[in-house]
Structure 1
Amino acid sequence: MGGLESLAPGADPDRPVHIVFVGAGAVGCFYASRLHHPSHNIHVSLIARSNYKALTDHGVHLQTHTFGDYTFRPHAVFPSVAAAAANPNPSEAGPREWDYIIVTTKALPDRSDDSALIAPLVGPHSCIVLIQNGVGVEQPYRTRFPTNPIISAVTVISAEQTSPGTVRQNRWTRIHLGPYSNSASFSSSSDDNDNDNVPQHGGGDATTGGGALITPTGSSPPTSTSTSSSSSSSDAINLPLQKTGAHLAALLSDWWTRLGQIRDVDCCADEIALQTIRWHKLCINAAFNPSSVLAGGRGNADMARDPELRRHLGGVMREIWEAAPRILGRGFPASMASPEMILKSSERNVGSKPSMLLDWEGGRPMEVEVILGNPVRIARARGVEMPRLQSVYALVRSMQEVRGRAKGKL
């Protein structure tokens, strides 16, 4: 990593570190703004699309509950991945590879392979950071970039882009970071008859998540003939990736905390700890997001207060709560909110609409696969059925496909 391996948290880099965010939405702009510290040799750039001109002309105006109002002017703003790949560091002579590539786009593996999108940015020493919803989001990147360190991240934040270049952070700033080697690896299996039912829009093959089983580290794969012979070679690759990823995650945590003053940045003790947090967030997302669409557009509090919907939401969450330990080999810590606690908290979340409902109402693609499809396939690969979640997945996926065919988009 060009010297970052020896850099200890708490010390500033002795040469410029270049970080690019792929996705200049509310979440990306907020976390980018707290990471950009040129006086400490840390330079953050953005790849923007619809808001490119606003960001180029005026930077990002942030209205935050936590840090007040301020303007973030990135090191550079690029209109495309190609532009960022051509010149990672436009203010200095000669290009340098990106040290960190932080992906904050919506995860839509049924529509596109984002690992292919960022490929022009990735150098031999680049670290890929994924701040995305759902589970199994890391595997396409691991398949395409087998030797690059990957950091998986889970965030809890309420933020919105109220107009191009203006971001409002309403509540929360928590982000969890952890290394990823292959704890949610995809392995093709011709024995899985359900693969034919996975949507195959825009590159849905075994490397992008469409039609693939997911076998977490330490689990039994569908066939065991090559397991023993490949175990030592896998460890030889995975252990260094975990070590490097953990170190690079610690550096990010230090910069966000010490320099960016975000107080609730957490580096997970190991890879499974981070995946446990992903599955806990899934309890909320997989219950409330699709149910709000299926229930006709009802918000979180409205659903939590309806007796039948509350029973349904609790059933989905408890199904995930019971399946996750069998998938990960580790249960949820006692400190994590139980399904009943989540329901009680949701009763107070008046006026809140889940992101999937907002996407549905706006006619945009929903994160169906990473929030619903992947966990169903992960569980099935471990011999665990989740019938409630599978039913929700089948119905919401069908709704999206029917609407897409009607619009001529599929």
Structure 2
Amino acid sequence: MASRSKVLLVGSGGVGTMVAYALEYSGKAEVTSVLRSDYDKVVKDGFTIDSCDYGHIECFRTTNIAKSVSDACENHGPFEYVVLVTKCVPDVTNMVEIIAPAVTEESTVVLIQNGIGIETGFKQKFPGHTILSGVSMIGSANRGAQISHEVSDFVKIGVFYNPTLPKEKQDAVCKKFIDIYDNDKIECTFDEDVKFSRWRKLVYNSCINPVSALVDLDVGRIELFGGDGGLIEQLMNEILAIAKSDGVDLPEDVIEFMIRSDDPNYYKPSMQVDVEKGNYLEIEVIIGNPLRIAKKNGVSTPALSVIYELLKLVQCRIKEQKGLIVVPKERPVPTSA
């Protein structure tokens, strides 16, 4: 039997845990998961998973568990693949520097994260490495090491091509990762057009995700209460217009597809869950970056711009709650000139 690929996985939330399970499922990977808040619980009891793909699983743990990237490197490295499945929150955390100790000369970095422009910092930090893109349509949440996986795991893995490396070599590294990940329960395919796939997913993430977070309603209730046909469709049309200005022509039927993608569940999108849990929100890569492209290309975005400003206020509230922002006891009031 061929030796298993050594994989470091950073980010064991609802999506990350299911990625870890898929990687271990076929026995082709030895996964080391970096855990933070759930570390003690998972060491003791493992994850409990209720999955639409795999069924009920008790006591799931990856081959190795570490408290930090440095701990993982010292005890379980080196790693062939360094997989990042965290929320992409560059205004809070520099994940490039966090994973840097694990990226050796032979490592490939895999970004199973949302958004546009997420690869830039990694390409700058690791100029001689292959960087892979993962666009996942899974629906899964983690609440205290209890994983509720409601929407099937469908993921497309592609390459953020590095012009200094042979394309064939990068494709081969990508397809090997797909072979490790894919199994008879899910669908993991090669992404021929990473830019298209990322803009396509933003039709959901930049529109349904933030509205659900701001009004604290799941997708089923948003539809029942009439929110899907007005504001959300306007947001989606704005994303289509920005994508087109960026060279990506998305079909109009993607709007109906994304609106129907969570049927028949009363599904809570990840950003709504993050607000409930007091987690930081991934605003910049799914709304901020598209808006910056829109401004550069002269695309009108009235609805998306309002959503962005509201979410920035929510993010500041969360930052204050976590101590990242300190509000003065006395309110500063501008003096008149």
TM-score relative to the length of structure 1: 0.71
> Closer, same or farther in 2 for the Cα pair 1:156/1:25, shift >3 Å?
same
Which residue number corresponds to residue 81 of structure 1? 69
Contact 1:299/1:354, CA 8 A, preserved across alignment: yes
Q: Deviations over 1:22-75 (max 9, x none)?
A: 1122222222122126965x3111111122223333444433222233454422
CA distance in 1, matches of 2:224, 2:261: 9
- Mapped pair 1:370 → 2:285: yes
Q: CA deviation at 1:171?
A: 2.7
Which residue number corresponds to residue 329 of structure 2? none
CA distance in 2, matches of 1:350, 1:68: 17
Which residue number corresponds to residue 249 of structure 2? 331
Structure 2 residue aligned with 1:66, among 35, 53, 56? 53
> Closer, same or farther in 2 for the Cα pair 1:406/1:38, shift >3 Å?
closer
SS of equivalent to 1:370: helix
Q: CA deviation at 1:361?
A: 2.9
Which residue number corresponds to residue 126 of structure 1? 107
- Mapped pair 1:291 → 2:211: yes
CA distance in 2, matches of 1:63, 1:340: 28
Number of aligned positions between the proteins: 324
> Closer, same or farther in 2 for the Cα pair 1:132/1:300, shift >3 Å?
same
> Closer, same or farther in 2 for the Cα pair 1:375/1:305, shift >3 Å?
same
Which residue number corresponds to residue 270 of structure 2? 355
What runs of 5+ residues in structure 2 fail to find an aligned partner? 326-337
Q: CA deviation at 1:170?
A: 2.3
Q: CA deviation at 1:386?
A: 2.9
CA distance in 2, matches of 1:307, 1:66: 31
> Closer, same or farther in 2 for the Cα pair 1:369/1:349, shift >3 Å?
farther
CA distance in 2, matches of 1:63, 1:318: 35
Within a 5 Å distance, the mapping from 1:6-405 to structure 2 comes to: 13=2, 15-36=3-24, 40=28, 42-70=29-57, 71-89=59-77, 97-164=78-145, 166-181=146-161, 235=163, 237=164, 240=166, 242-257=167-182, 260-269=183-192, 273-294=193-214, 296-307=215-226, 310-327=229-246, 329-332=247-250, 337-343=253-259, 345=260, 348=263, 351-402=266-317, 404-405=319-320
Q: Which moved more, 1:375-384 or 1:152-161?
A: 375-384
> Closer, same or farther in 2 for the Cα pair 1:408/1:34, shift >3 Å?
closer
Which residue number corresponds to residue 202 of structure 1? none
Q: CA deviation at 1:408?
A: 5.0
Q: Deviations over 1:305-325 (max 9, x none)?
A: 444663111111011112213
Letter in 2 for 1:371: I
Structure 1 residue runs of 4 or more that deviate by more than 6 Å after TM superposition: none
Q: CA deviation at 1:338?
A: 2.5
> Closer, same or farther in 2 for the Cα pair 1:51/1:378, shift >3 Å?
same
> Closer, same or farther in 2 for the Cα pair 1:76/1:291, shift >3 Å?
same
Q: CA deviation at 1:301?
A: 2.6
CA distance in 1, matches of 2:60, 2:320: 41
Q: CA deviation at 1:367?
A: 1.1
CA distance in 2, matches of 1:39, 1:351: 34
> Closer, same or farther in 2 for the Cα pair 1:136/1:163, shift >3 Å?
same
CA root-mean-square deviation: 2.6
TM-score relative to the length of structure 2: 0.86
Contact 2:22/2:181, CA 8 A, preserved across alignment: yes
CA distance in 2, matches of 1:349, 1:39: 33
Contact 1:256/1:262, CA 8 A, preserved across alignment: no
> Closer, same or farther in 2 for the Cα pair 1:401/1:179, shift >3 Å?
same
Q: Which moved more, 1:62-71 or 1:119-128?
A: 62-71
Letter in 2 for 1:168: S
> Closer, same or farther in 2 for the Cα pair 1:350/1:22, shift >3 Å?
closer
Contact 1:21/1:103, CA 8 A, preserved across alignment: yes
